[in-house]
Amino acid sequence: MKALLSRTPGGPETLELAEVADPVAGKGELLVRIQYCAINYPDVLVIEDKYQFKPPRPFAPGSEVSGTVEAVGEGVEGWQVGDRLLALTASSGGLAEKVAVAANRAFKVPEGLPLKEASALLMTYATTIHGLLDRGHLKAGQTLLVLGAAGGVGLSAVELGKAFGARVVAAVSSAEKAHVAKACGADEVMIYDRAPFDKEQSKALADAFKAKCGPDGAHVIYDPVGGDYAEPALRSIAWEGRYLVVGFPAGIPRLPLNLTLLKSCDVCGVFWGAFTMRDPKRHQEHVATLFRLWQDGKITPRVSEVYPLERGGEAIAKLANRGAVGKLVVEIG
């Protein structure tokens, strides 16, 4: 089979298209013929050896796939050849024609829902539903501030925030992205400048967040960006608000903890991957809810660009440069 391989640590330009042996479905596994692999920020990190998981080389990056079952491993029940699915790999293997996945990390895609968009569901919407409900305790009528609101994770927060009855403030870096966030249901949009910020610029951004969030502030802040955007956002938080730490493409911030005392607020980590392992039942409930919301038209995974396998490195590079709006997907089949 064909696979886009990382043989040495480096950027997307180091990936090589090669022929490798087909995987087999082991005990408790499904062999998947991949049709689509969504690109996520961990793919940027894992090929540079900067991610917390380091698969042995050579490996194909990509951990979120959709396709069909080609073989069912020993001990697996409830699956048959030809079933449509979306699945998480064991941190790599997605940019290839086939992959073996644990059956308990795969979900049948309901009829009528396209596999291309299904490949973009789990690592965005499932991360976000866990963050908003389990960590952020978001309630209807509360204000949700979303940073990086036009990326895959950010748009999922905009849509899910509206689905759960929140007032959503979407913060983005361009007019094009503001248009997308507004089209996805954001009540308010704001455009911020590119970091780094000096002290005055940081204060101005904090004032802008406060103005958009209103006098009570943001009850929940969803931050998949980090960097110099974090402290100004935290300054706009409501009394007893929840600041959700999701990711750091703009860098790992240092937050002044006196702000948490002054606002009596919480800073909460959202480590979705670990959550799925520690509480698989709750994770399954979340995915079932996402399918329902999708079928009801309340969320729609947005794939902005599709790349062929041999150009998968370009998709990773675009995401690394924060140029993606929605999700980037590589078509395998």
The token pair that represents 81 in the structure block:
């050849």
pLDDT value at residue 9: 95
pTM for the predicted model, two decimal places: 0.91
* DSSP at 21: P
Q: What backbone phi and psi angles, to 5 degrees, belong to 38?
A: -80, 145
Q: Tell me the domain boundaries of the chain.
A: 2-121+301-331, 123-273
Q: Which CATH superfamily is domain 2-121+301-331 in?
A: Medium-chain alcohol dehydrogenases, catalytic domain (3.90.180.10)
Instruction: Measure the CA–CA gap between 31 and 103, rounded to whole angstroms.
Output: 9
Each of the 333 residues of the chain gets a pLDDT tens digit; together they read 999 999 999 999 999 999 999 999 999 999 999 999 999 988 999 999 988 788 999 999 999 999 999 999 999 999 999 999 999 998 899 999 999 999 999 999 999 999 999 999 999 999 999 999 999 999 999 999 999 999 889 999 999 999 999 999 999 999 999 999 999 999 999 999 888 999 999 999 999 999 999 999 999 999 999 999 999 999 999 999 999 999 998 899 999 999 999 999 999 999 998 999 999 999 999 999 999 999 999 999 999 999 999 999 999 999 988 778 889 999 997
Task: Tell me how far apart the alpha carbons of residues 288 and 297 are, in angstroms, rounded to a whole number.
Answer: 14
- Judge whether 39 and 328 are in contact, CB under 8 Å: yes
Superfamily of domain 123-273: NAD(P)-binding Rossmann-like Domain (3.40.50.720)
- Report which secondary-structure segment, H or E, holds 230: helix 230-234
Q: How many helices (H) and strands (E) does the chain have?
A: 11, 15
How many Å apart are CA 243 and CA 1, to the nearest integer?
44
Pairing of strands 143-146, 218-223: parallel
Residue 98, strand partner residues: 33
pLDDT of amino acid 249:
87
Token reading at 112: 């009528």
pLDDT at 120 (0 to 100): 94
Residue type, 67: G
Q: Inter-axis angle of helices 152-163 and 175-183, to 10 degrees?
A: 30
Residue 2 Cα to chain centre, angstroms:
26
* CA–centroid distance for 21 within its chain: 30
Would you state the pLDDT for residue 326?
83
